Amino acid sequence: MKTFHFGLLGGLLSIAGIGTVYQYHELQREKEVIHVNHQLKRLENQLSRIQQKQEEEIIHPTKDYQVYYQTHPQHQQIFKDGLPSHANVAVTEAYVCSHNLERKIPNWVIHEVYADERSKQRVADRAFSDFNNRSVTVPTHLRPSTYDYVGSGYSRGHMCPAGDCIKKSQQAMDDTFLLSSNIVPQEYKNNANYWYKMEMLCRDHLPSKFDKVRIINGPVFPVTTKDNKQHVRYQVIGKNNVAVPPYLFKVILCENENTHLTGDRQVHLAAFAVPNEPIDMDVPLTQFQIPLETLEKQCGLSIIPNVPKANQFDLCQTDPSNCAMLSGNDWELYDAKRKMGWANSIQDLERTINRLKSHDIPLSDDLQRKYDEKRRHLELAENMNTTLQKK
């Protein structure tokens, strides 16, 4: 009997042990399922947050800029068409830009010129503006200084030209002198000559053919190959290490309001990459034209992401005169007119006139009047200085 009782008890204990082991493994499996479900839920939440962030920052970038529709309505269409990038964006009265805090220059600057501005009077004067580093959205310790340019061999090159704001407002004019937002180190002869001719094309010529001209300017830092290795190399100037771009880009977009309003929008555009060095004034602009996608890949930008390709047309192919800059005698006369305005002495004035004479270019009636007026002004100033010195 005892043996039987012990055997029965052992059997019962054995069965109970098997049941306990079974329950243990079942609990372990439930735990694993719960853990996997928890992990899946966590991953789903992460994916949801990533998708939400992408929608906010990429798919619908204008969500972040709705406030500017009220504060800067003149730039509303720029935001609707999409910005080239969304890092360190700043908005001024004159333009929209993106700051490069490492290189101490803008990544890009967008502004517009309108046909109806041609008939308006000047309301701003660059004489009241000065180069400064007061870009409020740039931390103080990351701002360049005017002293960075002193003795560097480079001029302070405007991306949005000061001349494009003389009929907007003095505040817009002042905005163009912000170093972080609108200035890059530019070779002086390039800045004062070939690049200036490109600006004249956008300011004077194209607004006579289109209602609106949008210009996007910025630096290009191309990849170079040396010893079978690829590099991005560039010079820096000043104690703040301001980057000197080897190339500058200019994207020009032109359109007429009637095509926009009727829904059949036609944006005529062309992209150019110009070396930051002296360029012969007779070189055609089209020699520097490059495909928009090539520029975008080089600079990591998406120029007008919200404008369908079907609405984009080649500005230079549509009408070759669109990309024809002043040349020959026309340029010499235009250049003489602006240099007369700069002249600070009779010697400077006569040097400008003698250049025209050396090219056998006669003065127009308008230019002759400007010359006579400027000479009288300079003679009066020199006579006053002489009188003061005698006293």
Determine the pLDDT at residue 263: 73
C-alpha distances in Å from residue 387, one per residue of 378, 383, 390: 14, 6, 5
Determine the pLDDT at residue 62: 41
Residue with tokens 């190399």: 233
Determine the pLDDT at residue 52: 46
Please state, as a whole number, how many other Cβ atoms lie within 10 Å of the Cβ of residue 389.
Answer: 7
pTM, to two decimals = 0.80
What letter does residue 41 receive in the DSSP assignment?
H
Query: Does an H or E element contain 278, and which?
Result: none
Determine the pLDDT at residue 45: 53
Catalytic annotation present for 38: no
Does residue 202 contact residue 215 with C-beta atoms inside 8 Å? yes
Determine the pLDDT at residue 383: 87
Determine the pLDDT at residue 76: 92
Q: What φ, ψ does residue 157 adopt, rounded to 5°?
A: -90, 120
Tell me which of 75, 111, 158, 268 is the catalytic residue.
158
Residues 6+ apart with CB under 8 A from 76: 68, 69
Determine the pLDDT at residue 264: 85
Determine the pLDDT at residue 44: 62
pLDDT tens-place string over residues 145-198: 999 999 999 999 999 999 999 999 999 999 999 999 999 999 999 999 999 999
What own/partner pairs with CB < 8 Å and gap ≥ 24 does 37-42 have?
A: none
Which residue positions in the chain have pLDDT lower than 70? Answer: 1-64, 260-262, 391
What letter does residue 304 receive in the DSSP assignment?
S
